[in-house]
Structure 1
Amino acid sequence: MTPITEVEGRRVALSNLEKVIHPATGFTKGELLHYYATTADALLPHLHDRPLSFLRYPDGPDGQVFFAKNVPPGTPDWVTTAEVPRSEGPARMVLIQDLPSLIWAANLVTEFHTPQWLIDAPGEADRLVLDLDPGHPATIVECCEVALWLRERLAADGVEAYAKTSGSKGLHVLATLTERTPSREVTAYAKDLAVEAERTLPHLVVHRMTRSLRPGKVFVDYSQNAARKTTATPYTLRAGTDPTVSTPVTWEEVAGCTDPAELTFRAPDIAPRLQTHDDLLAPLLAR
């Protein structure tokens, strides 16, 4: 029988709580739900008013992993949805606006991915993101070096940057835009930054996705600023063998990183970090 729990007055069905989702540590679906419930205060503001793309891995990373943008079948009527324009025609997507909706989505075993714009102005970005992706044998250590350069370069334009781990191999550099800006303009600016980074740090940076160029270098992916693209939301678990989390980090941690393990955070690490730092990306939410 599927247990039903009540979350802020909403009845949410929970399933397969003993199922192991992250096999390297035996992390179960019940633990996943507990993680999202206890991290909700930090996570929900980053999801609010941003249409959700689900990357689902209901049987763990070794099972089927699939990406979905449309409202899933069986979505409760109390979950907020909205029509979103797309090149192939409008689609209806989910907005995670409250704790019951978060727990419902987490029960589907979801990586949370969101765009750089809010539902009231699709395609008008309110933030910028640069995804730093290391090509083996480079690691997040090399990403940190590039992130520090980007931070300084953005500061020269009067833009304050923040950082989080991708929860996978790399690092995300984020910034709030002082005014809503068409996504294509933000993408063009981000591309200019990536090209300049490659010109300044040719031994370390590549701005093109071409696989043959990437070994030992950091690919500065500017394309996630495109209106149709999404990025892993802060505090989302990632679909890996470990329950790693896309985790906000301080610039001191970035500057001091000498080993990838220093910037690898798992679900149990997040509550203590929030107690110490609060949400390091809270400034991104200041409109």
Structure 2
Amino acid sequence: MSPITEVEGRRLALSNLEKVLFPETGTTKGELLHYVATTAGALLAHVHDRPMSFLRFPDGVGGEVFFTKNPPPGKPVWVKTVEVSRSEGATARQVVVGDLSTLMWAANLVVEFHVPQWRVGSEGVADRMVFDLDPGEPAGMAECCEVALWLRARLESDGFGVWVKTSGSKGLHVLVPVEPTASERVTAYAKEVAKEAEAVLPGVVVARMARAARVGRVFVDFSQNSASKTTAAAYSVRARRGATVSTPVTWEEVEDPSRELAFGLDDVVGRLELYGDLLGPLLNPNRARGVPGVG
């Protein structure tokens, strides 16, 4: 029988707490749930009012992994959902994780948390912009840092504040708060900046999707600004070896080539105690700036 716990007055059955989900580190499901509960304040802030998509890996990183936008089976009646547009005029419901009990229910399903750049009630109107830096071997984190620093300077020249986190996989996410702007316009601007990065750093950057073009270069993926796309949330554990987390970092860390910029559960808890939420400024509307015209 699964142990029953009470979170915010709601009863949750937490299952298979001793199951090892990350063989490389021996991290169990119970340890994963403890991490989520410990970092919930920061994690909830970055998924607040955003429809959630889930990348599930219930049997750990060596098992089946699947991505879903639909509410998982067995959803309790108290879990909030909202209607979201899908292709060709269709709609469907998605979960909104807005409180600790919903967060722990979702985490018990063993998931990565993915959210769009817009909020509930403003579908397709972004309040932040993201560049996903994805290195193609033999390029790695050092090249991602070089590209992130170039993007920071370029975006600051247009008046933006710029923050950064690890993807929790191989690369970095560069994040910018923007005044509410149609996702199409944000995507168009981000595409222009990515193409400019490729022109300035041709041996390091590629702005095209084709995998053959990515070998040895960093793909600057601007497409996650599309209204239909999502990005791994800050503080989300990733389905990767080592139980890595999408972790906010300082620009000083990005500037230091000796840093590996890969963080696990315990690292992130310690970093929150040391730094607080380094991405907190993203949530401040006073930091947002308008997106320049394109073309």
TM range, smaller chain: over 0.9
Q: 1:164 offset after TM fit, Å?
A: 0.2
Q: 1:92-241 maps to which residues of 2 (within 5 A)?
A: 92-177=93-178, 179-241=179-241
Once the two structures are TM-superposed, the CA of residue 241 in structure 1 deviates from its matched residue by: 2.2
Q: For residues 121 and 11 of structure 2, what CA distance do their matches in structure 1 show?
A: 28
Task: Give the superposition deviation at 1:79.
Answer: 1.0
Unaligned runs of 5+ in 2: 286-295
Amino acid at match of 1:270: V
Q: Deviation string for 1:243-279 (max 9, x for gaps)? A: 10000000000011335xx201000101110111100
Deviation of the 1:29 alpha carbon? 0.2
Q: Distance in 1 between matches of 2:133 and 2:15?
A: 36
Partner Cα separation in structure 2 for residue 132 and residue 258 of structure 1:
19
Look up the equivalent residue of 2:280 and give its one-letter code. A
Q: Is the 8 A contact 1:60 1:240 kept in 2?
A: no
Q: CA deviation at 1:73?
A: 1.7
What stretches of structure 1 of length at least 5 have no aligned partner? none
Residue 62 of structure 1: CA displacement? 1.3
CA contact (8 A) 1:238 1:244 kept: yes
Would you say the 8 A contact 1:244–1:265 is kept in 2? yes
Amino acid at match of 1:226: S
Distance 1:39 1:192 in 2: 36
Distance in 1 of aligned mates of 2:35 and 2:69? 23
Matches within 5 A, 1:22-101: 22-88=22-88, 89-101=90-102
- 1:183 is displaced (CA, Å) by 0.5
The ranges of structure 1 where at least 4 consecutive aligned residues each deviate by more than 4 angstroms after the TM superposition are none
Contact 1:129 1:173 in 2 (8 A): yes
Partners of 2:212 and 2:170 lie apart in 1 by 18
CA positional deviation for 1:238: 0.3
- Which residue of structure 2 aligns with residue 269 of structure 1? 267
CA distance in 2, matches of 1:168, 1:273: 18
Note the C-alpha offset of 1:14.
0.4
Structure 1 length normalisation: TM-score?
A: 0.98
Contact persistence 1:257–1:263 (CA under 8 A): no
Q: Which amino acid aligns with 1:138?
A: A
Q: CA deviation at 1:35?
A: 0.4
Equivalent residue of 1:212, what SS?
helix
Residue equivalent to 2:292: none
In structure 1, what is the Cα distance between the partners aligned to 2:207 and 2:51?
A: 28
Instruction: Classify the secondary structure of the residue corresponding to 2:83.
Output: strand
- Helix, strand or coil for the counterpart of 2:39? helix
Measure, in 2, the Cα distance between the counterparts of 1:265 and 1:157: 31
The one-letter code of the counterpart of 1:205 is V
CA distances 1:97-141 after superposition (whole Å, capped 9, x unpaired): 000000000000000000000011000000000000000000011
| SS at 2:277 equivalent | coil
State which of 272, 275, 278 in structure 1 corresponds to 2:276.
278
- Distance across 2 between alignment mates of 1:219 and 1:241: 22
Decide whether the 8 Å contact of 1:130 with 1:173 is kept in 2: yes
Residues 72-81 or 52-61, more deviating? 72-81
% identical equivalent positions: 64
1:263 aligned partner, one-letter code:
L
Question: Alpha-carbon deviation of 1:13?
Answer: 1.0
Give the aligned partner of residue 3 of structure 2.
3
Amino acid at match of 2:116: P
SS in 2 for 1:276: helix
TM-superposition CA deviations, 1:217-237 (whole Å, max 9, x none): 100000000000000000000
| Aligned-residue offset at 1:5 | 0.3
**Once superposed, what is the RMSD of the aligned Cα atoms?**
0.8
Q: Cα deviation per residue 1:165-197 (whole Å; 9 max; x = unaligned)?
A: 0000000000000x2111111000000000000
Alignment partners' CA distance in 2, 1:162 and 1:43: 16
- 2:213 & 2:10 partners in 1: Cα distance? 51
